[in-house]
Structure 1
Amino acid sequence: MSASLRVPTAPAPSTPHASPGAATALLDAYRPGTDRFLASSRRTLLASGVAAHVPDDARPLSTRVREVLDARRRAGEPAPIVVGALRFTPGAPHSLAVPRSVRRTSALCEDPLIALPGPSAEPGTWQTREVPEAGAYTAAVAAAVRRMRAGEFDKVVLARTLELTSSHELDLPAMLRRLAQHDPKGYTFAVPSGPDRTLIGASPELLVARAGNVLTANPLAGSAPRSNDLAEDVRRAAALLESAKDLHEHAVVVDAVREALAPFCPSLDVPQHPTLVRTAAMWHLSTTVTGTLADHATTSLDLASALHPTPAVCGTPTETARAVIAESEPFDRGAYTGMVGWQDADGDGEWVVTIRCAEAEGRSLRLFAGAGVVAASSPEAETAETAAKFRTFLSAVGAAL
């Protein structure tokens, strides 16, 4: 699979015209604990309060979500939505709710005020702890590479965390603003993830969106860190486009997305070659997959559940990769590499892969970063990639690894 030099933007369905400042006003209005904030390349959404929770039981999640939304509509709510986050582990407790009120406007990247200087990271002392430490992570990657070269499995995504403890209270609205400013074309989010906990981040990756009968997925796999030197940054992008290891990793993910979505669509548009997408910290190989649904009853959550987890966040074969992750990672991923997003009563919605994120609780932040490991991987290079991915959040809080 070769790559193209074209650098695309995400699909841009029509959105209501909004005056300058409308999207940044929702960003500035966000309050932790009571609000759920989501910004994408299509829209900005601020949901407040809780009108109803989606129950945790043995029924399929999409069934439970549909029943809650239908009940709210029968009760007179004209356009109810569910908003929140799902964890990496299937069946784990989720954080989905129907908000009491929702404010929507156009995308943050279309608001010129997002370019204005925001709040600087407040000075403070951060205590940091790597779990696992870089050396232990490198050893875990090396062990996985040996097993893949022996033919046990094809790919695994191994993650590590960085635990930060601040000397002062966390200013989550300011962190959210800085994350949004660093990558205004990405997917910025802040949602409750448990009692007194907030999941906050800026993901570059759309898992799936449904708008009417049209679905869009945008798998990313294969990455390279950005450079502050323009010539070096261009060199790294060009090298990524020609990297046999990264192109293979990307092809595995795209094939899995095609296979998962094919049962829902008479045909899928899957470009032959990946393109480049850039964030403030990373270059990524990207493919935008589109299709038309055969059955309008198929919801965005049906599609997201069929896709999750893609090899981009887990590996392949899936169950073997899950087992390797459980053996290798000395922590619970929680919502990391799960999904965050929304769905309305008609089944439309957007679900984003929960990466480039942290979970905030009290004065502590737990940051997450992972790397896709294949037989051709260099353990040292994968460890460096996780450090580069931490930069998205570290720059938003004024800390360093």
Structure 2
Amino acid sequence: MNDRLHHAFLKQASAADLLQHYQTGATFFASPRRSLLAHGVKAVLPPCEASQLAAKAAAWLQEARQEGRPPAVLMGALPFRLDGSSASPYLYMPQQLASGAGVDNAVTALSQAEKSCGAQLSMTPLMQPTPEAYRGNVRSALAAIRDSRFEKTVLSRSLTLDAKIAVPALLQRLAARNLRGYTFAIDLADAAAARAGAHRTLIGASPELLLARYGRELVSHPLAGSIPRSADAAEDRRRADGLLQSVKDLHEHALVVDAVAAAMRPYCKNLKVPAAPSLLATPTMWHLGTELRGELADLATTSLEVALALHPTPAVCGHPAAPAAKFIADAEGFDRRYFAGLVGWCDSRGDGEWAVTLRCAEVGADSATLYAGAGIVAGSEPQLELLETSAKLRTMLAAMNLELMLEDEPAKATS
């Protein structure tokens, strides 16, 4: 990106403008409020203990600000597990950064004019765990819930495809289907791999805001309680109405909202928590969502600090967090890496947006790994939870123009 284009973007760019200039190896993040496109890596936050991440990042940003540069911005992704047993936190300052308006309908028009993302399978996809093993994991989780080990856990699946995928086209398609959410592409390649052209991109279209800070305003919009959508309008409406009245799903949602509110309160002068959830629709799912809004007590508190205080919420881990996370580690059978972590940005004023890393994939030169999960509480049914993960995987598969059979025939499945 040349300097002239960079400065023009800073003044008047749209999300569609930035998407058109995205290339594999760059970083893109867009919300309904703002879009960012970054090229190059000026510096990467050095490794540190998870408990020091927010403070180290804040000091790093303030140091850059004191050097007289424009407001510095940190971007990147943090993994589900911050204990060093998984992928490493990746937060960096870009060499060039263009900022634009939030996602709007122009992105849809751009996507419609875009060619296919070019996904072509070269061998049978690998699912971890298998459908039967996943149903077994759900049954084990339900037994643990009956034994009062925890109230909720979240069990996920990964799907690995051997395929060549055009990341820029895929990103445009995801953004067009996610106008009210958070669309991202984070280049994960280290310097040596990038020089060799071996980029690996964390890409996705998350419906869930973990935490945003705009001045003194704090916002979180957790989702919990879901059901796949139907192509039949009457059935789709019935499912949405049923979700709003589901005792199981309302209980699952309340666990999440209560935990998020408890984590936000120490940072707020006041916090508004709606009494009941509302419906949020994506192309494949209905979700229960609650938007919490607070007034930040101390402007020295950054968006990343509050986001880390919330992570992981019961929406992606469970409740209580420690036994739920241990069950996930013991039962799931694969490394989530950045899935169910957080992705976004924070500037030197402390403002920023951090989405939960959902409806996502890690895409390399010849392969991609997709992820999806479902919350397990008392009353969950193994086959329905399996089908929920399949519906969530279809967000990415549809954007890749891939149709796959993801599970055994439902009629043959046992509960």
TM over 0.5: yes
- Which structure 2 residues correspond to residues 9-88 of structure 1 after superposition, within 5 A? 18=12, 22-33=14-25, 35-58=26-49, 60-88=52-80
- Per-residue CA deviations over 1:52-107 (Å, capped at 9, x if unaligned) read 11111236111211222122223332111000000111244211100111111111
Q: Which residue of 2 aligns with 1:258?
A: 261
* Residue range with higher mean Cα deviation, 154-163 or 59-68: 59-68
Does the residue aligned with 1:151 lie in a helix, a strand or coil?
A: coil
- Per-residue CA deviations over 1:317-339 (Å, capped at 9, x if unaligned) read 11101100001111111110000
- Which structure 2 residues correspond to residues 304-383 of structure 1 after superposition, within 5 A? 304-383=307-386
Q: Which residue of 1 aligns with 2:223?
A: 220
Q: What CA distance in whole angstroms lies between the structure 2 residues aligned with 1:121 and 1:50? A: 26
Q: Give, in angstroms, the shift of residue 193 of structure 1.
A: 2.6
Q: Which residue of 2 aligns with 1:388?
A: 391
Q: What CA distance in whole angstroms lies between the structure 2 residues aligned with 1:332 and 1:387? A: 18
Q: Give, in angstroms, the shift of residue 256 of structure 1.
A: 0.2
Q: Does 1:162 align with 2:196?
A: no
* Residue range with higher mean Cα deviation, 95-104 or 63-72: 63-72
Q: Structure 1 vs Structure 2: percent identity of aligned residues?
A: 46
Q: Which residue of 1 aligns with 2:142?
A: 145
Q: Which residue of 1 aligns with 2:82?
A: 90
Q: Give, in angstroms, the shift of residue 41 of structure 1.
A: 1.1
Counterpart residue type for residue 269 of structure 1: K
Q: What CA distance in whole angstroms lies between the structure 1 residues aligned with 2:64 and 2:231? A: 50
Counterpart residue type for residue 383 of structure 1: L
Q: Give, in angstroms, the shift of residue 159 of structure 1.
A: 0.6
Q: Say whether the 8 Å CA contact 2:118–2:165 is kept in structure 1.
A: no
Q: Say whether the 8 Å CA contact 1:52–1:68 is kept in structure 2.
A: no
Counterpart residue type for residue 87 of structure 1: P
- Per-residue CA deviations over 1:163-182 (Å, capped at 9, x if unaligned) read 1111xx32100111111112
* Residue range with higher mean Cα deviation, 305-314 or 229-238: 229-238
The counterpart of 1:242, out of the listed 230, 245, 253, is 245
Q: Say whether the 8 Å CA contact 1:155–1:317 is kept in structure 2.
A: yes
TM-score normalized by structure 2?
Answer: 0.89
Q: Say whether the 8 Å CA contact 1:266–1:292 is kept in structure 2.
A: yes
Q: What CA distance in whole angstroms lies between the structure 1 residues aligned with 2:395 and 2:115? A: 16
Q: Say whether the 8 Å CA contact 1:108–1:184 is kept in structure 2.
A: yes
- Per-residue CA deviations over 1:179-214 (Å, capped at 9, x if unaligned) read 111222211000023443210000000000001111
Q: What CA distance in whole angstroms lies between the structure 1 residues aligned with 2:158 and 2:305? A: 30
Does the residue aligned with 1:51 lie in a helix, a strand or coil?
A: strand
Does the residue aligned with 1:332 lie in a helix, a strand or coil?
A: coil
Q: What CA distance in whole angstroms lies between the structure 2 residues aligned with 1:118 and 1:84? A: 26
Q: Does 1:277 align with 2:297?
A: no
Q: Do the aligned partners of residues 234 and 114 (structure 1) sit closer, same or farther apart at CA in structure 2, a change above 3 Å counting?
A: farther
Does the residue aligned with 1:175 lie in a helix, a strand or coil?
A: helix
Q: Give, in angstroms, the shift of residue 393 of structure 1.
A: 0.3
Q: What CA distance in whole angstroms lies between the structure 1 residues aligned with 2:253 and 2:201? A: 31
Q: Give, in angstroms, the shift of residue 266 of structure 1.
A: 2.4
Does the residue aligned with 1:55 lie in a helix, a strand or coil?
A: coil
Q: Do the aligned partners of residues 17 and 250 (structure 1) sit closer, same or farther apart at CA in structure 2, a change above 3 Å counting?
A: farther
Q: Does 1:118 align with 2:114?
A: yes
Work out the number of aligned pairs and report it.
381
Counterpart residue type for residue 53 of structure 2: L
Cα RMSD between the aligned structures? 1.6
Q: Give, in angstroms, the shift of residue 118 of structure 1.
A: 2.7
* Residue range with higher mean Cα deviation, 286-295 or 122-131: 122-131
Q: What CA distance in whole angstroms lies between the structure 2 residues aligned with 1:83 and 1:17? A: 20
Q: What CA distance in whole angstroms lies between the structure 2 residues aligned with 1:151 and 1:63? A: 36
Q: What CA distance in whole angstroms lies between the structure 2 residues aligned with 1:17 and 1:46? A: 14
Counterpart residue type for residue 128 of structure 2: V
Q: Does 1:297 align with 2:300?
A: yes
Structure 1's unaligned 5+ residue stretches are 1-15
Q: Say whether the 8 Å CA contact 1:95–1:194 is kept in structure 2.
A: no
Counterpart residue type for residue 101 of structure 1: Q
* Residue range with higher mean Cα deviation, 143-152 or 300-309: 143-152
Q: Say whether the 8 Å CA contact 1:108–1:114 is kept in structure 2.
A: no
Divergent runs of 4+, >6 A: none
